[in-house]
Amino acid sequence: MPEWRLLNRPSATRLRPPTRRTRARTARTAADGPASAGTGPLAGLTSVQRSILRALAFSATPGELWFVERMVRRSGPALEANIEMLIAYDLLHDSDGGLRLRSPAVRRAVLRATPPSLRGAIHVRAAAVLAHPSPTLAAGHLLRALVETTGPEHPGTGTGRLDLALVSRLAVDPAVDPSVAADLLLAVHVRYGPTLAPEHHRSLLPALVDHLMLAGRAEQAMAVLTEEIAADRDGPEQRAILLGRLGAWHATGRPSLALAYLHRALAQERTQPIHRAWLLTTLAAIVAPLGQPAVAELLGEAEQAERETPAPGGAVRLALARSGVALGRGDLRAARRLLGQADPHAPDSRGPAALLRVDRIATQLAFGEFDHARISLAAATAEIDRLGAVVEPMLTALDCLLRLSVGELPEAEARAGLALHPRAERRLPDEVRLELLSVLVEVLIRRGRPDRARSLLDAERPVSGWPDRMQWIRLGCAAAMDPEPVRHLELLCSSAEALDHSLTQLVRLPHRGTVLVRALLRAGEPALARTVAGHLGTVAEQVDNPLWWGIAGHATGLVEGDPATVREAVARLRTTTARPALADALLDLARSPEVPPAEAAAAAQESAALYGRIGATGDQGLAQRHQRVLDGQSSRSARPRTGLDSLTGGEVRVAALLAGGATKREAAAQLFVSFHTVDSHLRAIYAKLGIRSRLELARIWDDESADPPA
């Protein structure tokens, strides 16, 4: 609204300026007068003037002219004359921001002089006036109306002065803080729940639970759900809705319970199509990242239900489900496209939209776009009041993953430790807790405190069996950092096998893939190590960026014992900001026995320096010790090698298959490596043998290798 100044406007009524004595008497009356309209600050005022004072006294902010006009239901010169009179008698103050009472003492006196029966009505009226321009203030007024009234007659329900339609509209408005909306719905439920009409009660409960969860108040949501399911007041259809909410609550803790409750809800009789669509889209969004074998069939059923009867937030949940399927198979490009197509501003999609924002940031991390992810995290954190407190711990976990990816280890440790502290303000969902714990374990080991990390791991009791074990992949990858990986062999093997279901947890922090491969090799599980390396190669082929080619090449080089592949991986990782991944690759290159001594010493020295810069003191000490061993060796004596003897083990295996007539893709499939790795080996083979074609390779193989080397 445009600014206005009452004192500069011509008045329709000539006012006699108050004397000094009159102003003093008015101020004393306002501060000390009794709570009565006859002798207090409202004494001698007209009904319009009293309404003006009350409207501004109950308002949390200065009131502009349009607000006063609608509250008093008056406009024009007559209203302005009354306002000028109140200003002249030192009860009101006009400013650029609007009208306000002269002092807190005047406000207290006006509130005391307002009958209790009017207070709720004034707040309800203010909520109706402010609903469109300022829904947050409107929700606050409705909440105060419920709190300040003392009985069901103040302000009433249903078609009375408390407009339940307005309550519902404000609760879903994106501008209203989810916690305020939850408080408003909870106040209605507690005060009027038993007396509400059945249709109002059925619509209120799901909205209340959704907003409590969105506000991060899961315990309260659980209490409401437990009470209402036990009461079973509204029949099987409402029971299905509440069971569905209970399943959604368990999604980040025990996925098996989430699926059980959602399937029970879908089995209820006489479920309306819109509620069935909500249940199916929710179920699809939960199971898709977990890699359920029949997810395609479930997704098709959910899409059909959503087309026939769109559910609140159903389109966004379907986008989350489709992207979850794409992430599960390592197709980050498809996941990004699907998440980008979803509309976070769709009606009634506030909760799914918050998760959509989180998944978009996680996808940036998976791509290695760390600068973009940092900007997105800052923007999301600034909007936490709009997104809902439920995403705050998720954003904290993503921030820790970002810092771990780029090598800000002290900062990652501090943030994760603070969030996991027993006295932390908010109880963390199990999924977030495990993510933060995995960050803390990896940082502790990298910084030379493996005993502390082991104590944290020993306190956990990983579950077995799909889908619950999918939550523990992240912890298994962190445990792989232990210098003695055999201590956690069961967790490592379980994590590697779970990747056959879904790669979602692996792609969020790419360098953990090579860490897991290295740990499995040291623990005597080469078959599982080869399988994980194959998964990394699959992701690299679909993403096709330097980070993932470097990660996949590093893992393949470890499995094949091929320093050339690790060397190429180092070159690719140099073009990224993934400093821990580069330092790990350099150290593994230095450890390779086939690398020349000078190159190995330089790689160890660079690795130690890089570990030092990122604060990985434990890794730095390991690299420095390896460098000293290399420096202590006078030289490596190696006979010159020519022909097939010059090939590495990985190159020999590729040459054997290609010389036998296999295509590069067939060789990649048989060796469990990527097509890119086979192509890289072939180029090295051509260079070492001085040939240019597969025909020449086959001829040399037949001539020189009647018994090919292993």
In this prediction, residue 306 carries a pLDDT of 94
Please identify which residue in the block is written with the tokens 């077995």. Answer: 464
In this prediction, residue 19 carries a pLDDT of 53
Mean pLDDT, rounded, for 261-275:
89
In this prediction, residue 233 carries a pLDDT of 80
Assess whether pLDDT exceeds 70 at residue 704. Answer: no
For 385-414, the pLDDT digits (tens) are 888 899 999 999 999 999 999 999 999 999
Give the span between the Cα atoms of 384 and 386, in whole angstroms. Answer: 5
- Which bin fits 448, alpha (ψ -120 to 50), beta or left (φ > 0)? left
User: Nearest to residue 310, comparing CAs of 280, 286, 266, 353?
Assistant: 280
- Give residues with Cβ within 8 angstroms of 19, minimum separation 6: none
Burial 143-173 (b: 16+ CB within 10 A, else e): bbbbeebeeeebbbbeeebbbbebbbbbbbe
Give the span between the Cα atoms of 102 and 106, in whole angstroms. Answer: 7
For 609-655, the pLDDT digits (tens) are 999 999 999 888 888 887 777 766 534 444 456 677 777 777 887 88
In this prediction, residue 399 carries a pLDDT of 97
Give the span between the Cα atoms of 225 and 210, in whole angstroms. Answer: 11
End-to-end CA distance of the chain: 83
Q: What phi and psi, each to the nearest 5 degrees, are found at residue 100?
A: -150, 160
The pLDDT-based confidence of 347 (bands split at 50, 70, 90) is low
| DSSP code string of 392-428 | HHHHHHHHHHHHHHHT-HHHHHHHHHHHH-TT-SSPP
In this prediction, residue 629 carries a pLDDT of 72
Percent of the chain topping pLDDT 90: 46
3-state secondary structure of 222: helix
Assess whether pLDDT exceeds 80 at residue 53. Answer: yes
Top-confidence residue, 29 or 442:
442
For 410-448, the pLDDT digits (tens) are 999 999 999 998 877 678 888 999 999 999 999 999 999
Residue 195 DSSP symbol: G
- Give residues with Cβ within 8 angstroms of 396, minimum separation 6: 415, 419, 432, 436
Top-confidence residue, 82 or 40:
82
Domains of the chain: 6-114 (1.10.10.10), 395-632 (1.25.40), 643-704 (1.10.10.10)
Report the residue count for the chain. Answer: 710
User: Nearest to residue 459, comparing CAs of 506, 427, 426, 422?
Assistant: 422
Residue 96 DSSP symbol: T
In this prediction, residue 149 carries a pLDDT of 60
Q: In whole numbers, what is the pLDDT of the chain averaged over residues?
A: 85
In this prediction, residue 60 carries a pLDDT of 82
SS3 of 229-280: the string is HHHCCCHHHHHHHHHHHHHHHCCCCCHHHHHHHHHHHHCCCCCCHHHHHHHH
Partner residues linked to 92 by β-bridges: 101
Top-confidence residue, 144 or 286:
286
Give the span between the Cα atoms of 610 and 615, in whole angstroms. Answer: 9
Assess whether pLDDT exceeds 70 at residue 216. Answer: yes
The pLDDT-based confidence of 13 (bands split at 50, 70, 90) is very low
